[in-house]
Structure 1
């Protein structure tokens, strides 16, 4: 065979293969690009959202960053970026104004057909519902209501919202009942304390009244005993005076001389402290009976117990009144000594 023919045939075959190879490479490149933009990239975004949003994945978060300024002026891509950050930091529904749900909802306001935001809201809805339920269980009712409202904007027909609203209402009613019971219990405790205080005051007043009545009774008994003593002393003085009068009949020179005669006595006041402590005792005094029948210069000679009844005895004796002693018919001063007994019974 002619070698020149073979060479020309090979050159023609290589010329045909080269355009086919280029075309195949171009098709593969176009398919790879389409797969990246239509499959790989959306899938990676969803994986990122799932990784950051699932509650079972423990993620240590610091304090939430401040919300971006002028959210309304942000583009769709900026809002999606902020939403992904919020999901990764577990800011799905909170804090208000800086959470993934609000960013995704803002994306749908700007671009109602955005598939990334719609898919993210649909896939994270169960997690958001769980977070709202946690807020209800923690009795953060205001934030729970806000989170339920966000969930309702994402999927208003979802039956989970009915369950969450029912739980929120039940927890609110339960809290109201608990607060009412606590208030009633506090009022009952205050009423019981007031009744106890009133009873204690009434008991104190009754005890004071009984003590006063007993003290008055003992004082009356003491006055009666003192009166009896004074009466007995006066009787003795009168008997002494009668004997003197009889002697004067026999001896005219002694008729004008006699000792002092008690005309009026004053019972001593029983000291209050002694009465309360049930103390009894006596005081022996000496005093001068002046020519006009008054008592002067009263002095305590002895007492038992000392310094308890002294003052009361001196005050009482000072107020006594005598018929003065006489000598040859003329009034004269006289000295007298008496024992004043203080006895309760």
Structure 2
């Protein structure tokens, strides 16, 4: 059963780690609920013989779960956002992104309540209150699920296997400086670049590709609203490209700019691997 919505699922035979590897190779990183790579790696981590390599895989995949949860909140899918939030809490109960995700989910519930209240005022009906009630149950179920299924912290993997959660740079507490006409006329300079993480399925299959990402440069130079324009091959590099965009930092100009970049994924050359 899925711990959030009680949905039944069929699980392929084999050890949890084998099921996780199979799910990852088949593109089932976070879905369907209960039969995806993250759930199976979590099961594998509970086994002493698999703990280290399962935790290394979970640390590597955690940024992609975060992106999926943020996307679910952005499209108003509270149930899916709650499920993914619970997965992150199981991976790392102290993940820095969890408070932000909880706040986003609660904000989604409040917005739904406002919409329902406006709809009920225009057309009184018991159905007008149903979606807000469902959203409240989602938040309550998520909180309860996290408190029950969050495991004790496991030993950290070796530094080479660790991967930091991708988070947008913090906003400055000071107001942005006023923009000059010259700053408005030119695009902000890139001050801080970042290398994308090579997706494990693509790395194992020796696949190269690229993804074009559109985004908004905020007045303080941080990146928001990253969205995919295209990806080659489809379904392989999207999550990694969107994750790395959050780590870019541009010159602060005091105004927002729309921009785009192409993120390329290239395998190391034979000489680099041998060296």
Shorter-chain TM-score tier = 0.3 to 0.5
TM-score, length-normalised on structure 1?
0.31
More helix by share: 1
TM-score, length-normalised on structure 2?
0.39
Asked which structure has the greater CA Rg, the reply is 1
